[in-house]
Amino acid sequence: MSAYKDYVFGIQEDIQSLITEEMVLDCEDISELYLRVGLLVEKLPDGEWLIGAYDDIITQVCDDCWNTVYADYNLSNIYVPV
């Protein structure tokens, strides 16, 4: 189980490294961030496979980055998934 957790954490770190503060602030809404990050993930080794297999992790990392940036700026665009 530990090897799988390490693998998932690695995926999260890879995705998070693609997201910049500027990218988040440049997006009109969270959906645009999902799209931009998805396009970048596709360029990673096995990226197309990651999108299909781990899209929930990609979404969660985007949500976390979005909320962190907006909280840092004291802005009201915090996203709460439904």
Neighbour-count burial for 64-81, b at 16+ CB within 10 Å, e otherwise: ebbbebbeeeeeebeeee
* Spatial separation of the C-alpha atoms in residues 42 and 46, rounded to whole Å: 8
Please report the sign of the dihedral spanned by the C-alpha atoms of residue 7, residue 80, residue 49, residue 22: negative
Taking only the tens place, the pLDDT of each residue in 48-75 is 888 888 889 999 999 999 999 988 888 7
Global pTM reads: 0.84
Query: N- to C-terminal Cα distance for the chain?
Result: 29
pLDDT-derived band at 79, boundaries 50, 70, 90: low
